[in-house]
Amino acid sequence: MRLTPMERPKMDSLISVKDLSIGFHLRDLMLPAVEGLSFDVAAGETLGIVGESGSGKSLSARAILGLVPSGGKVTGGSITYQRAEKSEVEITKLPKNGKEIRSLRGADIAMVFQEPMASLSPVHTIGSQIITTLRQHTCLSKKAALDRAIELLNQVGMSSPAEIAEQYAHQISGGMRQRAMIAMALSCDPRLLICDEPTTALDATTEAQIVELLAKLQGDLNMGMIFISHNIGLVSEIADRVMVMYLGQEVETGPAKDVLRMPGHPYTRALLNALPAFTEPGQALATLQGAVPDPTSRPSGCAFHPRCPEFAGSQCKNKRPSLHQLAERHRAKCHLHD
Ligand code: SF4
C-alpha cells in the first residue's frame, strides 16, 4: 500500500520534521544532502537514526538546532518544535543566530556530540563550563550553579563529582569526558536530547555504560531523544523506533523490534547481516560492497541500486521507489514492495 499522506504519529510530537530538504552550494549547483525527510519524536520516546557516513543523519539532526554548516541551506520543508506551553516554533524560519534559536539551543533542545575532546574547552574546568551553560539559560547564582553542576556530574555517574568539576578535559578519561558532555547537555533540563554518535571514540565496555546511562536518563527525565549511530545493533538497544537513512533519504522506519526482526529494505538487511549477532558461529561476517556515493554523482532510480544485493532490474535503475507501508508505523522505500 502506498503511503499517501505520510503516516502520522500517535503521540504529541515534541519535534516534527516534514519534507525536510537541505542542500549545499557547489559553484552554480545546489547539491541535495537531505531530501524529503519526515519524522517525529514525542516526549519519552527515542528515535534511532542509522546509516553510513554521508547518509545525512547528523546534518538532519543539526538542522533541528539551526546548525546547518556554512555553504548549506534548508531548501524545503519544515521543522516544528512544540514548546512546553504548547506554542509552536517553526525552526527553519528563525534567524540563524537570533535570540529565539539561541534560547532553544542548550535549553529546550540539547546535543551530545561525537568527540568530547573537540567540544569541551581545554582551558576551562569541567565545572566552569557547566556553570557557564547554566548561567546563560537560568537566573542561578554562581554558588547555586556550582551546586547544580556537581549534582549533574553525580547524576551521570561520576564518583567524585566535586573533584571532577575542578578538573580539565585532558585530566579525565574518554568515558568521563563523555559523561561530562552529557551532564552539560542535561544542565537546563532539555525536553529533547540529540546524541550524535556519542560513543564512537569509546571502547566497547564504556560504550555499553554510556548507552545504559542515556537510556536511564531518558526514562527518568521523560525526554524525547534522537540517537544517531552508524551501528544498527547499538541503536536497536536504545531506540523505540529506528529510521534508516541512505544518501540523504529515509529508506526505512519502524518500531525497533520490527526493523530488527523483519527488515523491509535491502540496505537495512545488509547492515544487520554485518553484525556478529546476526552471523552463525564459524561463518564470515557479511560485508556491504562499495561506499555511499558522492552527492555530485547520485545514482539514477533507487540511489542504493549499484550496491544492492537484491537488485531487481531496470525499475531499480530507472525509477525512484516510493515509501510503502509494511505494517502499522513500519515503512520502507523499495521497489520490492511495489
Ligand atoms: Fe534494491 Fe531495487 Fe529495493 Fe533499491 S529498489 S533497495 S535497488 S531492490
How many angstroms separate the alpha carbon of residue 127 from the centre of ligand 1?
50
How many angstroms separate the alpha carbon of residue 263 from the centre of ligand 1?
13
What letter represents residue 138's amino acid? T
How many angstroms separate the alpha carbon of residue 299 from the centre of ligand 1?
12
* Ligand 1 closest atom vs CA 316: 2
Question: Hey, which of 246, 252, 265, 311 would you mutate to test ligand 1's pocket, going by the most ligand atoms within 8 Å of its Cβ?
Answer: 311
pLDDT tens readout for residues 239-258: 999 999 999 999 999 999 99
Three-class DSSP category at 135: helix
| Cβ of 41 less than 6 Å from ligand 1 | no
Task: List the residue whose alpha carbon is closest to atom 3 of ligand 1.
Answer: 334
Last residue of a domain, one of 133, 159, 189: 189
How many angstroms separate the alpha carbon of residue 220 from the centre of ligand 1?
40
Which runs of consecutive H residues, i.e. helices, occur in the chain? Answer: 57-64, 99-104, 116-119, 126-137, 142-155, 161-165, 174-186, 204-221, 232-238, 256-261, 266-273, 314-318
59 and 152: one domain? no
Task: List the residue whose alpha carbon is closest to atom 8 of ligand 1.
Answer: 311
Query: Please, are residues 62 and 70 in contact by the beta-carbon 8 Å criterion?
Result: no
145 and 203: one domain? no
Tell me whether residue 300 is in a domain: no
pLDDT over 70 at 8, yes or no: no
Question: Hey, which of 247, 252, 292, 310 would you mutate to test ligand 1's pocket, going by the most ligand atoms within 8 Å of its Cβ?
Answer: 310
pLDDT tens readout for residues 75-134: 999 999 998 887 899 999 999 889 999 989 988 999 998 877 878 899 999 999 999 989
17 and 92: one domain? yes
pLDDT over 80 at 284, yes or no: no
Question: Residue range 147-172: average pLDDT?
Answer: 94
138 and 247: one domain? no
235 and 258: one domain? yes
Strand 46-50 versus strand 241-246 pairing type: parallel
Q: Before 281, cis peptide (omega within 30)?
A: no
Model confidence at 74, pLDDT cuts 50, 70, 90, reads very high
Distance separating the N- and C-terminal Cα atoms of the chain: 8
pLDDT over 80 at 23, yes or no: yes
Question: Residue range 270-297: average pLDDT?
Answer: 84
| Cβ of 147 less than 6 Å from ligand 1 | no
Tell me whether residue 131 is in a domain: yes
The mean pLDDT value of the chain amounts to 90
Tell me whether residue 273 is in a domain: no
Task: List the residue whose alpha carbon is closest to atom 2 of ligand 1.
Answer: 316
Task: List the residue whose alpha carbon is closest to atom 7 of ligand 1.
Answer: 305
Model confidence at 11, pLDDT cuts 50, 70, 90, reads low
Q: Say what the pLDDT of residue 282 is.
A: 78
pLDDT over 80 at 6, yes or no: no
Tell me whether residue 47 is in a domain: yes
Residue with cell 520534521: 17
Tell me whether residue 27 is in a domain: yes
Name the packing angle between helices 142-155 and 126-137 (round to 10°): 120
CA geometry: angle at 216 spanning 215 and 218, to 5°?
Answer: 65
Tell me whether residue 286 is in a domain: no
Question: Residue range 193-208: average pLDDT?
Answer: 87
How long, in residues, is the chain? 338
What does the DSSP assignment read for 35-74? EEEEEEEETT-EEEEE--TTSSHHHHHHHHTT-PPTTEEE
* Three cell numbers written together for 246: 541512505
Last residue of a domain, one of 216, 249, 266: 266
Query: Please, are residues 180 and 122 in contact by the beta-carbon 8 Å criterion?
Result: no
Three-class DSSP category at 305: helix
Total of domains in the chain: 2
pLDDT tens readout for residues 228-241: 999 999 998 899 99
Question: Residue range 145-171: average pLDDT?
Answer: 94
pLDDT tens readout for residues 176-192: 999 999 999 999 889 99
Q: Say what the pLDDT of residue 5 is.
A: 36
242 and 130: one domain? no
Radius of gyration for the alpha carbons in the chain, expressed in angstroms and rounded: 21
* Ligand 1 closest atom vs CA 266: 6
Tell me whether residue 184 is in a domain: yes
Q: Say what the pLDDT of residue 119 is.
A: 83
Distance CA 270, CA 309 (A): 8
Model confidence at 285, pLDDT cuts 50, 70, 90, reads confident
Instruction: Supply the pTM of this predicted model.
Output: 0.91
Distance CA 307, CA 269 (A): 13
* Three cell numbers written together for 199: 560513543
Range of the domain at 230: 12-108+191-266
Question: Residue range 1-7: average pLDDT?
Answer: 37
pLDDT over 60 at 144, yes or no: yes
pLDDT over 60 at 7, yes or no: no
pLDDT over 80 at 31, yes or no: yes
pLDDT tens readout for residues 307-332: 999 999 999 999 999 999 999 899 99
Distance CA 308, CA 290 (A): 10
Last residue of a domain, one of 266, 297, 325: 266
